[in-house]
Amino acid sequence: MPSEMETSVKAEAAEGDPGRTLQRAIENRSARVGVVGLGFVGLPLAVELGKVGFQVTGIDTSQEKVDGLEAGASDVMGVSAFEVAGLKAVGKLGATTDYGVVSELDVVVVCVPTPLNKTRDPDVSFILHAFAQIRDRLHPGQLLVLESTTYPGTTQEVVLPMLEESGLKVGVDFFLAFSPERVDPGNKIYTLRNTPKVVGGVTPACTEMAALFYQQVVARTVPVSSTQTAEIVKLLENTFRSVNIALVNEVALMCDRLKIDVWEVIDAAATKPFGFMPFYPGPGLGGHCIPIDPHYLAWKLRSLNFHSRFIELASEITRSMPAYVVAKVGDALNGHEKSLKGSSVLVVGVSYKPDIDDVRESPALDIIEMLEEKGARVTYHDPHVEAINIPPLKMASVALDTETLETADCVVITTNHSALDYDLISEQAVCIVDTRNALKDVKVDEGKVKKL
């Protein structure tokens, strides 16, 4: 049931200026907020909004996720059950699968997945579904923000026409903006609160309203001139990283041919105080952003008859890295007079980056699959990932102990978790392929280690 304050806010919006009413509700944090999508982006946002005083309702299609949140649990790394239960206890956080609650909300933030389909084209079906539900419950005095990564033009060309079917006018009756998520899972320094928030609205009034909303929870907002600008900001950030990681991976291949340690090269180059930013090679790219986001930009540009050569080349190099690692494993085993077929290979670390439990797009999964296709007997250890159940892979993490290491013909370090015992690995493993330079500071017999 809405409170007396919420009822009066909606009555004032109906009779007067809905924008002014919404502004006051945001400023005094009486605005009711909905977050659509309670994953790694939506749940942290919902929790932080609840902490600053907003009453937040999470909306998700997963009944299991909603039931967990209602029970005070969290399935997102970085969000503790203590935080969820505490906010739930004081009435600042709830969850539902029913979009009907949107009719009672003042602000709705959409944080749904935007994957690529099999042809590497954007799949915006989750966005379309969410905003179709919102459109049917849209009322004067609402702010709607899309945070899901997407191609430039989605908010203006796809979302806005849907909402205008309601008969309400954007920038006057309701406000629409795009603000790209900048979540970095596992980052202890840069969090939602101290990472600047880019905001672009359909109209200047939309930008101002969205910026005002985010100013309640983040230290700094960065208004830009349009939703299209805000959309491409996120794509540029991750395309920049994708291209530079591909470049350093290619340099790693060059250094391998030249018998030069690429890690030493990068460390020396990084001493230059200007004009150079260190990126590091690895077994490939993973996660929800860097392997995917550049393709949103490339797809959009193809529709304008523009071929994004850097993006395509970077993707080609990156996609080749798992196969390169598998070849390295074969070479390492040959040095010990063993063939890849029939050998026992232990893959250490399967999440896409250190100290998290996320295996989406992880190159380690490709490496395991390729090794098995070549006849290797593969096991894995990851302190953060208890099991993998992503067809065709279905396996559980094994213990990282002396017995496991001694019985492995080759150990492949694919993710450099800080919790791993690298001294134990270096002492007990007979053959190691280190794709992350994880053993840099560990005393180890160089004869049994091959670097990327």
3-state SS of 60-92 is CCCHHHHHHHHCCCCCCCCCCHHHHHHHHHCCC
**Of the candidates 202, 195, 252, the residue with the CA atom closest to the CA atom of residue 225:** 202
Could you give the CA distance from residue 414 to residue 329 in angstroms, rounded to a whole number?
A: 12
* Residue tagged 């670390």 (tokens): 349
Three-class DSSP labels, 316-367: HHHHHHHHHHHHHHHHHHHCCCCCCCCCEEEEECCCCCCCCCCCCCCHHHHH
Kindly give the interhelix angle for 363-373 and 309-334, rounded to the nearest 10 degrees.
Answer: 50
Phi-psi region of 390 (alpha: psi -120 to 50; beta: other; left: phi over 0): beta
Strands of 111-244 (E only): list them.
142-146, 174-178, 197-201, 221-224
Q: Is the peptide bond before 18 cis (omega within 30 degrees of 0)?
A: no
| Residue 26 vs residues 22, 150, 190: alpha-carbon distances, Å | 6, 27, 25
Q: Pick the catalytic residue: 111, 206, 255, 289? A: 289
Residue pair 231/180 in contact (Cβ under 8 Å)? The answer is: yes
User: CA–CA separation, 139 vs 156, rounded Å?
Assistant: 19
The reply to whether 206 belongs to the active site is no
Give kind and range of the element (H or E) at residue 310.
Answer: helix 309-334
Other residues' Cβ atoms within 10 Å of the Cβ of residue 443: 8
Give the ranges where 90-184 is alpha helix by DSSP (H): 125-135, 160-164
Residue 232, amino acid:
I
First to last CA, the chain: 59
CA distance 157 to 162: 9
Residues acting as catalytic residues: 289
